[in-house]
Amino acid sequence: MESGQLFNFVTLGYFIAMVLFITYLATRNSKVAFLAHLFCVAGVAVHTLAIGMRWYESYQMPGGVGHAPLSNLYESVVFFAWTILVIYLLIDFKYKQPSIGAFVLPFAFLGMTWAQLTLNTSIEPLVPALQSNWLTYHVLTCFLGYAAFAVACGVSIMYLIKVGKEEKGDGPIGGILGIFPSIRVLDDINYRAIMIGFPLLTLGIITGAAWANYAWGTYWSWDPKETWSLIVWFIYAAFLHARFTRGWVGRRAAWLSVIGFAATIFCYLGVNLVLSGLHSYGGGGM
Amino acid sequence: MNVKKTSSPDRLWDFFCSLKLTIFTLLMLAVTSIIGTVIQQDGAAEEYIKEYGRSNYELFQKMHLTDMYHSWWFVGLLGLFCVNLICCSIKNFPRVWKFVSQPMLVAGDGTYKNSANKAEFITKEPADELAQRLTDTLKSAFTRPTLTEVDGHLNLFAQKGIYSRFGAYMTHLSILIIMLGAIIGTVWGYKAYVNIVEGTSITQVWPRNGNQPIQLGYSVRCDKFEVEYYPGTMRPKEFRSLLTIVDNGKVIYDKAKIIVNEPLSYKGITFYQSSYGPAGTGTFEIEVTDNKSGDKLTVNPAQGQRVPLPNGFFFSVDDFTASYESYGAAAKLHVDTPEGKHRTPFIILQKFPQFDARRGGDFSFALKSYHQPQYTGLQVAKDPGVWIVWFGCFLMVFGSMSAFFFSHRRVWIRLSHEQGKTRVQMAANAHRNQAAFSLTFEELKKQIENTVTNKA
């Protein structure tokens, strides 16, 4: 079996998990939630295997092409989906709120679908600039950070949906919203996820700077990718500081988290697809 | 109403300390930074005029938008950010320092009553004996406690992770250190480039912004430049230069290899493999056979050069290609007769040296090799601040990790005599991540209870 087929199974697995999570919202059936988790865990296991296999396949190709599967847009989107699941399962293990899955799994599913359907899946040899161990450290830390921001964004969307209803205070909230965690818990998870993501993003920016210094002799050159990563860093730094002042928790914090994730996605995709810069090879394979 | 009058220096101080200013500057930095990613930076005037028109270009100039990250207003914003975090740190640091210099060894009634994590036990065992055993329990289950006696009560205090209180300050300090490193690099360092043709040396490099060359103080020779391609493709796999550095007649590096991602440093100046290209005209190695006598001779002409042959003939190479369809390298030649007649041009292929003998004529030719000299393009950087920047980065990672992933946890126990019995009160808190700490506390409480009831 080839890694490409496995990735198709992974995509299907995440789709089923997503549908089950949404079914859980409607039915409140804890068996459905359990099944959804089962698909998540199985999906991420196959996903890990598939990434390992693609890595192995790259070494089977002629001409010394072998490299970690983190080098082009397709590979990075697939890896991003993997990190989202890893961070989600980590947070889910701690908070045990299955309804959050319905708002996080779509990110992973959409990423996998986009990658499998439209991106160039061929394994390509690395250009000299990418032949560095820093590539692995840089991509690993950045995407774990991005994934934590994705979870924070999903939770913030739940918060924003629920907060209006809860503030009206017409007795207990029924229906789908009733199964959401309380807004206090959602606000807390949002903060926690960003607390995980921020140091990882910091590490990602630093490993990127160290690598740039090795490759080009300058650790910071204000190219659009670098600048956007700093913009994302500024937004989440503002978010973390805003927690200390009253009035910036809750609704505003949730909006800031959503804006932060939008900036993250722009930093990741928008810069390559819309703007130009040193990372332009990251946009290859479209 | 009791309005406290504040003097203007105080108000200024409060302004620079305020968290509102922090959030404002962070968001302003985020928003303004976008401009420079949309408008190309450091471009040529004509490009801007072509894209945006002259009046817009003049507006950009006035607002420094074409080099905005070095403009007075952006640097000013960064400066405001630094002033804010310095003031904030000065204001709040003493309070944190107090946790270290004056730990709260004895907790008051309020702490035992109101703490989220608390417990109480009664036992008949005398307080001093129990205190001894509780000390051992805390030592193994948490960390070594400090014993204090106040008003006849015995107090135990233990704490862990106090450094996490400094995480935020470490992160703030690291930002200042990184900025310091960046300033040092800008003032005492430079970014330059140089192209070295194979076999030649250079002693000076050209700065990115400026016209005067910078003297290196030693010479750098490029002995060889090579490009390696992925098999069967024109994708470069690796390009490498062999550099020899000679300082004062002494060879420091002899044919040291540099490739992309593996630079070479000497005396604080680093050379990075960056680009390459052809330099000057190449030379061919061509073997000529005189078909009448069978004599062979080898010549090394450049393209277009007229080469004399026996009996008054001449030939020259008119054209060359590295890949002629699927046949590989090919050269187009023509022969001139002694009368000066230009004969029909023909093609010889490097892969098939016998091929030209079939053409007949006075001479047959074989293309042995082609050598095109290359130049290697190097980025040259001197940055005496870079180690300060890396130190700052290390501090930032360490600081932010300890600020977000760890917390300062404290446990207090008070033993007091009450009607022949000993009352054991326990309280604990964590300055962050209370939920996780309450689990730790439950575990600790169980162990303390076991010790008190002598079940251990």
Q: Which of residues 74-133 of B touch A (CB under 8 A)?
A: none
Cβ–Cβ gap A218/B36 under 8 Å: no
Distance from CA of B347 to the nearest CA of A (A): 32
Q: Which of B173, B131, B135 is closest to B153 using CA atoms?
A: B131
Whether B41 contacts chain A with CB within 8 A:
yes
Cβ–Cβ gap B401/A222 under 8 Å: no
From the list A211, A231, A271, the residue facing B30 with the nearest CB is A231
Per-residue model confidence (pLDDT) at position B352: 87
Q: How far apart are CA B56 and CA B62, in angstroms?
A: 10
pLDDT of A174 above 70? no
Cβ–Cβ gap B233/A125 under 8 Å: yes
Cβ–Cβ gap B30/A238 under 8 Å: yes
A286 — pLDDT class (breaks 50, 70, 90): very low
Chain A and chain B share a number of CB contacts under 8 A equal to 119
Q: Which of residues 152-211 of B touch A (CB under 8 A)?
A: 182, 191
Cβ–Cβ gap A242/B23 under 8 Å: yes
Cβ–Cβ gap A275/B37 under 8 Å: yes
Distance from CA of B263 to the nearest CA of A (A): 7
Summarize pLDDT for B145-189 with one digit per residue, the tens.
999 998 889 999 999 988 888 998 999 999 999 999 999 999 999
Whether A31 contacts chain B with CB within 8 A:
no
Q: How far apart are CA B218 and CA A124, in angstroms?
A: 41
Three-class DSSP labels, chain A: CCHHHHHHHHHHHHHHHHHHHHHHHHHCCHHHHHHHHHHHHHHHHHHHHHHHHHHHHHHHCCCCCCCCCCCCHHHHHHHHHHHHHHHHHHHHHHHCCHHHHHHHHHHHHHHHHHHHHHCCCCCCCCCHHHCCHHHHHHHHHHHHHHHHHHHHHHHHHHHHHHHHHHHHCCCCCCHHHHHCCCHHHHHHHHHHHHHHHHHHHHHHHHHHHHHHHHHHCCCCCCCHHHHHHHHHHHHHHHHHHHCCCCCCCCHHHHHHHHHHHHHHHHHHHHHHHCCCCHHHHHHCCC
Q: Which of residues 227-246 of B touch A (CB under 8 A)?
A: 230-233, 235-239
Per-residue model confidence (pLDDT) at position B420: 84
DSSP 8-state secondary structure symbol assigned to residue B345: P
Distance from CA of A12 to the nearest CA of B (A): 35
pLDDT of A282 above 60? no
From the list B29, B36, B37, the residue facing A234 with the nearest CB is B29
A283 — pLDDT class (breaks 50, 70, 90): very low
Q: Which residues of A touch B388 (CB under 8 A)?
A: none
Cβ–Cβ gap B396/A202 under 8 Å: yes
Per-residue model confidence (pLDDT) at position A171: 59
Nearest CA in chain B to A276: B37
From the list B36, B233, B263, the residue facing A222 with the nearest CB is B36
Instruction: Suggest the residue from B39, B41, B261, B439 to mutate for an interface test with chain A (most A CBs closer than 10 A).
Output: B261
Summarize pLDDT for B83-126 with one digit per residue, the tens.
999 999 999 899 889 888 899 999 988 999 998 899 999 998 88
- Extract the residue ranges of chain B whose pLDDT is less than 50: 1, 456
**Which residue do the tokens 């990251």 mark?**
A282
Per-residue model confidence (pLDDT) at position A247: 64
Q: Are A98 and A21 in contact (CB under 8 A)?
A: yes
What are the phi and psi torsion angles at B260 (to 5°)?
Answer: -60, 135
Per-residue model confidence (pLDDT) at position B249: 92
Selected residue with higher pLDDT from A230 and B151 = A230
Whether B316 contacts chain A with CB within 8 A:
no
Q: Which residues contact B399 (CB under 8 A, 6 or more apart)?
A: B166, B167, B168, B169, B170, B171, B172, B173, B174
| Half-sphere CA count of A20, side-chain side, radius 13 A | 19
Cβ–Cβ gap A215/B27 under 8 Å: no
Q: Which residues of A touch B238 (CB under 8 A)?
A: 128, 131
Q: Are B26 and A234 in contact (CB under 8 A)?
A: yes
What H or E segment, with its residue span, contains residue B197? strand B190-197
Q: How far apart are CA B419 and CA B359, in angstroms?
A: 124
A196 — pLDDT class (breaks 50, 70, 90): very high
Q: How far apart are CA B412 and CA B448, in angstroms?
A: 12
Rounded to 5°, the CA angle A162-A164-A168 comes to 115
Distance from CA of A150 to the nearest CA of B (A): 19
Whether B37 contacts chain A with CB within 8 A:
yes
Whether A274 contacts chain B with CB within 8 A:
no
Selected residue with higher pLDDT from A279 and A92 = A92
Cβ–Cβ gap B230/A241 under 8 Å: no
Q: How far apart are CA B176 and CA A256, in angstroms?
A: 26
Nearest CA in chain A to B398: A199
B197 token code pair? 């043709």
A170 — pLDDT class (breaks 50, 70, 90): low
CA–chain centroid gap for B90, Å, is 30
Q: Which residues of B touch A262 (CB under 8 A)?
A: none
Q: How far apart are CA B121 and CA B229, in angstroms?
A: 77
* Mean pLDDT confidence for A108-123: 93
Per-residue model confidence (pLDDT) at position B454: 77
Q: Which of B164, B166, B134, B165 is closest to B147 using CA atoms?
A: B134
Instruction: Suggest the residue from A122, A134, A142, A213 to mutate for an interface test with chain B (most B CBs closer than 10 A).
Output: A213
Q: Which residues of A touch B389 (CB under 8 A)?
A: 209, 219
Per-residue model confidence (pLDDT) at position B292: 86
Whether B362 contacts chain A with CB within 8 A:
no
Nearest CA in chain A to B393: A206
Whether B405 contacts chain A with CB within 8 A:
yes
Q: Which residues of A touch B401 (CB under 8 A)?
A: 199
Rounded to two decimals, the pTM is 0.86
From the list B41, B381, B386, the residue facing A222 with the nearest CB is B41
Per-residue model confidence (pLDDT) at position B389: 97
Q: Name the CA radius of gyration of chain B, rounded.
A: 39
Q: Are B367 and B349 in contact (CB under 8 A)?
A: yes
Cross-strand pairs, B423? B122, B416
A163 — pLDDT class (breaks 50, 70, 90): confident
Q: How far apart are CA B48 and CA B445, in angstroms?
A: 70
Q: Which of A42, A177, A153 is closest to A104 using CA atoms?
A: A153
Q: Are A81 and A108 in contact (CB under 8 A)?
A: yes
pLDDT of A285 above 60? no
